[in-house]
């Protein structure tokens, strides 16, 4: 079978179903790690890879790659996604007034937070997206995710897995050196990814088991200009035509600094919604991260001309969840 084109100009913009289906079939990993697999491409991470990643630590500098979790976030209510609501259940005022009922003067503070699991920096789990009613590894979607949650590939299975070599591809800086920011609607191609790797040098060569983080610069723009339509609006991101690269590089996971990982609007004139998600999550088994804050890391990598690091990005072991908030950290 001829491999699908990696040139966006070759996409039939009137046929999203056909373009998605061709790539879903070409890059499907069903059965690759057995019929019972719950990790998908995270299986590419192994012990030796983690040992090698740990050896990348030189200075011990730790950089958080998380955006904030607070009410001043990007969410607008799409699909009932809201920003976090943080409520104090015990306060210093309560303690001062002796209203907590504790002995010998001890007091304390407690709080609770209510939020969608994908309202800020997060992983998409394997139960998050389906392809024609089918989930990762060819399972029926209704057998996987029920009212009780993801009973098969819940995010808790990845809670002790996602520690590996991280590689930053600062596409924004490589393609737009003056601003460091790709314009909204820019579709990142395989050629763009390879151009970025060539510009950054050998430390950004992507290997099996890596976690690739792609900086577009859109989050930098929101920090300067405000959220605008960051959550769900136009954005730079990966082209559908990068699916083959994501498959053949055997990366474990990928994350971006945008709300939706792939280019928005999507690359079709006919109605479409997140076609690359439909290929890579249920068919390829690829874990996707979104809304990462990559600016400090990008500055550090550029200063050192070194784009590889130890990355730890464990999801919360929320039983049956199809995604998880995270505080990923790069250790340089």
* pLDDT tens-place string over residues 160-204: 999 999 999 999 999 999 999 999 999 999 999 999 999 999 999
For residue 10, the tally of other CB atoms under 10 A from its CB is 10
246: which 2 tokens?
């994501």
Q: What is the pLDDT of residue 222?
A: 97
Closest to 280 measured CA to CA, from 270, 295, 290, 269: 290
DSSP class per residue in 167-180: EEEEHHHHH-TTTS
Domains of the chain are: 13-78+117-331 (3.50.30.50), 84-114 (no CATH)
223: which 2 tokens?
């920090």
Q: What is the pLDDT of residue 76?
A: 93
Checking if the pLDDT of 1 tops 90, the result is no
Look up residue 85 and give its DSSP letter.
Answer: E
Beta strands in the chain (DSSP E): 62-64, 85-90, 110-114, 122-124, 134-135, 139-140, 145-146, 149-150, 163-170, 187-188, 211-215, 237-238, 253-256, 287-290, 308-312, 323-325, 329-331
pLDDT by residue (tens digit) across 50-105? 999 999 999 999 999 999 999 999 999 988 999 999 999 999 999 999 999 999 99
pLDDT by residue (tens digit) across 255-273? 999 999 999 999 999 999 9
Checking if the pLDDT of 239 tops 90, the result is yes
Q: What is the pLDDT of residue 163?
A: 98
For residue 190, the tally of other CB atoms under 10 A from its CB is 19
pLDDT above 90: percentage of residues in the chain: 98
What's the mean pLDDT when you consider all of the chain?
A: 97
Paired strand residues for 311: 164, 330
Pairwise CA distance, residues 166 & 331, whole Å: 9
Confidence of residue 330 (pLDDT cuts 50, 70, 90): very high
Q: What is the pLDDT of residue 2?
A: 86
Q: What is the pLDDT of residue 253?
A: 98
Q: What is the pLDDT of residue 278?
A: 98
């Amino acid at each position: 079978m001829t491999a699908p084109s990696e040139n966006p100009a070759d996409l039939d913009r009137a046929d999203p179903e056909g373009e998605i289906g061709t790539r879903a079939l070409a890059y499907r990993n069903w059965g690759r790690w057995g019929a019972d697999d719950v990790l998908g491409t995270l299986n590419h991470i192994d012990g030796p890879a983690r040992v090698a990643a740990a050896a990348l630590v030189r200075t011990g500098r730790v950089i958080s790659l998380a955006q904030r979790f607070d009410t001043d976030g990007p969410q607008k209510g799409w699909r009932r996604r809201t920003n976090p609501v943080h409520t104090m259940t015990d306060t210093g005022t309560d303690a001062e007034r002796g209203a907590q009922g504790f002995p010998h003067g001890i007091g304390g503070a407690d709080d609770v937070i209510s939020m969608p699991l994908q309202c800020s920096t997060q992983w998409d789990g394997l139960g998050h997206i389906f392809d024609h009613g089918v989930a990762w590894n060819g399972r029926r979607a209704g057998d996987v995710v029920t009212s009780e949650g993801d009973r098969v590939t819940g995010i808790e299975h990845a809670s002790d897995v996602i520690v590996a070599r991280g590689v930053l591809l600062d596409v924004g800086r490589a393609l737009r050196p003056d601003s460091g920011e790709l314009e909204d609607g820019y579709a990142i191609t395989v050629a763009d990814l390879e151009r970025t790797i060539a510009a950054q040098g050998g430390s950004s060569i992507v290997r099996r088991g890596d976690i690739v983080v792609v900086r577009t610069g859109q989050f930098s723009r929101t920090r300067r200009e405000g959220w605008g339509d960051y959550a769900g609006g136009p954005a730079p991101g990966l082209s559908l035509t990068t699916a083959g690269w994501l498959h053949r590089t055997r990366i474990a996971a990928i994350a971006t600094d945008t709300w939706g990982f792939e280019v928005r609007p999507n690359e079709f004139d006919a109605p479409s919604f997140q076609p690359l998600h439909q290929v890579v999550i249920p068919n390829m088994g690829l874990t996707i991260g979104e809304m990462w804050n990559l600016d400090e890391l990008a500055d550090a990598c550029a200063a050192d001309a070194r784009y590889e690091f130890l990355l730890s990005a464990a999801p919360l072991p929320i039983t049956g969840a199809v995604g998880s908030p995270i505080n990923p950290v790069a250790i340089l």
